[in-house]
Amino acid sequence: MLEDGTPLKGYLNPSGLQSAESVDLLTPDGEHKEIALAGIKAIYFVADLNQPFEPERSVFLSRPKLEGLWLKLTFRDRQSLEGIASNELLETLDRGVQFTPPDLHGNCLRMFVPRAALTEVKVLGIVGTAKRPPRPAVAIPNQPRLFSE
């Protein structure tokens, strides 16, 4: 969806979104369109191009079950949307945020929002556990007894 709200349907490769200045959209008619990220409000990755692409819910009804960063994104038009992003801040801070929207059973599977389209990103929580290496066991020296028997 463009900044002005115009939807564009098509196919694109999501692997280059974090490093690109623009996206190459392949339309259903087979045309290539080069679109600058600065003019995009959000990119919706959907299961079916002929179904509605907007998520039905913009917030989670309870604490999400997916692991990752629970984010609240505020767009320049003051609209807000929650989602779960990977727990990797370097991916989140570069060109934009790729996340799973709160409507898990809808047509929209993932979204990408360019950094220029946002005014604020809040971390509402961290869902899941951190994967830490196990600590080595430390031997405890014998303590002297305080009371003798």
Q: Tell me the domains of the chain and their CATH numbers.
A: 44-127 (2.30.30)
Asked whether the beta carbons of 36 and 96 are under 8 A apart, the reply is no
Is the pLDDT at 82 greater than 90? The verdict is yes
- What does the pLDDT average to over 15-39? 85
Residue 83 has pLDDT above 90, yes or no: yes
pLDDT of residue 14: 81
Is a pLDDT exceeding 90 seen at residue 136? no
What CA–CA distance (Å, rounded) separates 49 from 61?
Answer: 26
So what's the pLDDT on residue 101? 92
CA distance 93 to 64: 22
Mean pLDDT of 42-62: 87
Q: pTM of this prediction?
A: 0.78
